[in-house]
Amino acid sequence: MAVEHDLETMEIPVNMGPQHPSTHGVFRMVLKVDGERVVELVPHIGYLHRGAEKLCENMDYRQGIGIHDRTEYLAPFHAELALVIAVEKLMGLEVPERAEQIRIIMAELNRITSHMMFVGAFSADAGVFGTAFTYAFREREYIQDIFEEVTGDRTMYGYFRPGGLAWDVPDDFVERVRAVLEHTRQGIDDIDNLLTKNEVFMARTRGIGAMSAEEAIDWGLSGPMLRACGVRHDLRKAQPYCIYDRFDFDVPVGQYGDVYDRYLVRLEEMRQSVRIVEQALEGLRDGPIMPKKMRRRLRTPPGEIYQGVEAPRGEYGVYIVSDGTDKPYRMKIRSACFANLMGLRDMVVGHFVADAVVILGSIDMVLGEVDR
């Protein structure tokens, strides 16, 4: 193409966000595009930085649960879980069996709702006019009804406590969850039928945003993003917390690390979550939900701990430095999307603008957790 040298082309910067339908909140990225192709990407975060860590350092541990809920607002149970496990380990508390089972039921149901949100938003990014979104939200609403019956709120639960649970579940809890699980299984199949084999969806997602396992580890990705690259790492298996070591479930792993694999991994994780919940329902026995003697003020002995849990988006970790009072001296939140977003530039550069949107959607970020 000899003519190419004579033509004057210009790379134009395109600013996406902070308000853009596909940025899932207030993420901003500045793309430099050559025609439709992205040649450079600079992500900007911090538009939702609201000081969760600082506020936690000025609250006692139980108050901090609320802040953690709002930090990871699509998977609040996992955020609570990380905090309460860290405090329990600092204090050396023993959690009753029933509380552990209920925690796992709640956390896994929450994983389903979170992935449902991913499927809906991701399909909207890929261009489905809301249909998969409403299908996914139907399942979410059924599960959220259970959450509401148990905890009293639709989204911000505040249900786990250091040592156990705030209160016991309703009497018909097991039957309710079983009934909803039937529906959820059907709903996952519905979404599977709607999207997975759709030619346009496959054309848009396969081979897009691929990342090798080495790169993924180097950037510190975790969760489904990492597993889609072929690394079989799941904290529930590698370093079991709660009583995950007693459950029988598989860790789905992708092969190529592209957007389609991330979608498939999350779809399969939902099915595995259903399995875990069923097993936990089998094992649910009557019993106490809190240790016998709990102090009114939770004073942790001096020390420090890092506790991570396998949240739907990756490892949600809490690093607590305790100075012996009822407030953490330092509370660091290790958020999954924060690390997952770091690799965004490597994934996007070279693709089209439309792919950038899909790749961003595949990260399934929660800005509250990224910016804290």
Nearest-approach distance from CB 72 to other proteins, in angstroms: 10
Q: Which is nearer to other proteins, 174 or 321 (by Cβ)?
A: 321
Nearest-approach distance from CB 231 to other proteins, in angstroms: 5
72: left (phi over 0), alpha (psi -120 to 50) or beta: beta
Nearest-approach distance from CB 246 to other proteins, in angstroms: 18
- Specify whether the CB–CB gap between 341 and 359 falls below 8 A: no
Q: Which is nearer to other proteins, 179 or 238 (by Cβ)?
A: 238
CA 107 to chain CA mean position, Å? 11
Q: Which is nearer to other proteins, 174 or 305 (by Cβ)?
A: 305
Cα separation, 18 vs 231, whole angstroms: 32
Nearest-approach distance from CB 305 to other proteins, in angstroms: 4
Q: Which is nearer to other proteins, 189 or 323 (by Cβ)?
A: 323
- Cite the DSSP H helix spans in the chain: 52-57, 61-71, 76-91, 97-126, 131-151, 173-191, 199-205, 213-219, 224-228, 235-238, 259-282, 336-342, 344-348, 353-363, 367-371
Antiparallel, parallel or unpaired: β 12-16 and 28-34: antiparallel
Nearest-approach distance from CB 169 to other proteins, in angstroms: 21
Q: Which amino acid is at 319?
A: Y
Q: Give the CA angle between residues 233, 74, 64 to the nearest 5°.
A: 95
Nearest-approach distance from CB 286 to other proteins, in angstroms: 31
Q: Encoding tokens for residue 371?
A: 């910016």
Q: Which is nearer to other proteins, 40 or 304 (by Cβ)?
A: 304
SS3 330: strand
Q: Which is nearer to other proteins, 284 or 356 (by Cβ)?
A: 356
